[in-house]
Structure 1
């Protein structure tokens, strides 16, 4: 597979927009009374239906956690050592993490992918191996990875998601695990938005002010070192990204190319979405932004993308937790679109003027 084959994303079928919007407006409610559920229902209808008379069907919701270690973590940019990535992958596999509880409660199928972590999972753990190495390079000294490594990550993720698509999944969420990956996400955002690291770096999972300043300095060094290679989204991803971020980008593009729904999680997942939309602007039409996290860079990234998240719960965990929590909202949007009566059907006097 060449990278360019994933960048040709079809636009939404806007020919249906007026009819689907009219169907929503004619439900037994005042115009706009269901708030953000209304544009969400319209988006789902445009992605998943071929006629305004077709119901929205959400098939086999799949949440995939991509895990990868970052060389920059050795510089002390996190409250936890890199070994925690592998430990949490084992926790995911054993069903003990927050995301396991949420997926079990809400109805997501959960898959865990080792994209390249320091400690390789034990053979008896139910983890999908798509390893690109044991860790990226420390990006303030050299590119995070080779171009060939990035392309291999795209191939692996594309094959994985296509397999899930063939089984009937039409709604995907992507979570991540990787000590140091908020530093990578901040660097990606700075490179694309041209905002300074002071504007894109926050406290992550709760680091000290001293560590925040260290992260800012390391990112500034990386931006200076690689500035000639940061003029394309792929250049940014190769030089500043992570193995898990690479596979999230490719996965999002694969889902968008298949014209299915992408539920975007927090800061790191939104950094992947930012790269994906830079590579293929139409990909954004297939993305539902689940929540705004407590990370300042995430708030600014959502503003940069000009999108409105569904939730704002102060989450800063990752793992796909915010995306998981959005599923009942998608199901509710589909339910009112599919099942709510119109004024005519219910013999109710129309209140929309």
Structure 2
């Protein structure tokens, strides 16, 4: 796969950033999480006066072969139906993009339906869904590379338009299954502790999902005793998930802030960090969702989410809801006065 050159932000500016934050006319530390968030954005942009420019949201769609095993309560046709719904502005992702001024791109990387005649969906279809990872790798090395490249391509489009903060979302029935497996393998956590209800499984459905995914992992490990991270990502991932991984890596490589949504997108960031650990310096985790294991997955990355609203819709909606907090952190730095200019005695 393509090599990424993701560098840790230069540390030499950090002391000046903290000095600026501490000298704003407020008690030291009184704006809490906004202060650490502002520091992170300054470090990403390597400036004391950060900006947020042309925010973009990439929504990747793809179907999963493992869905054929009954691991999701939702049928696969919901993927293409929702993709069309997004083009009409009727999804949760549409509402939040409108509210917060995000440019939305809808990309088909692997939906099991012909969407090529819809002008509002970018056609980057690799195949009509992945293969069933219960029996074989979800995608070939060539398909894996195409998915990564699609994520890169979409980020580069956004950069050319002036974007410096980007968000990713997904539409793909059964994608909590590969997410749970990535979490288990990369986090060294028993798989059953990583599996939840997805889009609404009952207890019997969860038990069935656990059996299927445990068998899939056992089959994989029997023939792959020492897999590289890319092998694990390729074997279990969805096209929409791997495209998101590529987008995250490219965005970080080019110095953009990457907003991370719920369980699926956190799993993609976890996978991306296995390939390039420095990507986490660019990640802003917007939301801790209601999916079982999400909090634990965030802990694997030492992530501190901005919101916890009990959401588990996906599509990038939880991250989009956090955007006003990110805006507030930037405004704090650029619009609050300091003690000296305000003629206020520094009282700490």
Please give the range of the TM-score, normalised by the shorter of the 2 chains: over 0.9
Does residue 254 of the first structure (1) align with residue 254 of the second (2)? no
Task: Give the superposed CA RMSD.
Answer: 1.2
TM-score of the aligned structures, taking structure 2 as reference length? 0.97
| Residues 90 and 125 in structure 1, CA contact (< 8 A), matched pair in contact too | no
- Could you tell me which runs of 5 or more consecutive residues in structure 2 were left unpaired when the two chains were aligned: none
CA apart distance, 1:249? 0.3
CA apart distance, 1:122? 5.0
CA apart distance, 1:229? 6.0
CA apart distance, 1:306? 1.1
Provide the rounded CA distance (Å) in 2 between the counterparts of 1:202 and 1:32.
Answer: 37
Number of residue-to-residue matches in the alignment = 346
Q: 1:1-353, aligned counterparts within 5 Å?
A: 2-4=1-3, 6=4, 8-50=5-47, 52=48, 55-121=49-115, 123-227=117-221, 228=224, 231-351=227-347, 353=348
Provide the rounded CA distance (Å) in 2 between the counterparts of 1:318 and 1:215.
Answer: 19
CA apart distance, 1:124? 3.1
Provide the rounded CA distance (Å) in 1 between the counterparts of 2:102 and 2:264.
Answer: 20
- Could you tell me which runs of 5 or more consecutive residues in structure 1 were left unpaired when the two chains were aligned: none
Provide the rounded CA distance (Å) in 2 between the counterparts of 1:284 and 1:193.
Answer: 15
Q: Which moved more, 1:179-188 or 1:223-232?
A: 223-232
| Residues 61 and 170 in structure 1, CA contact (< 8 A), matched pair in contact too | yes
| Residues 235-272 of structure 1 deviation map (CA, whole Å, 9 limit, x = unaligned) | 11111110001100000000000011000001110111
| Residues 13 and 46 in structure 2, CA contact (< 8 A), matched pair in contact too | no
Q: Which moved more, 1:271-280 or 1:150-159?
A: 150-159
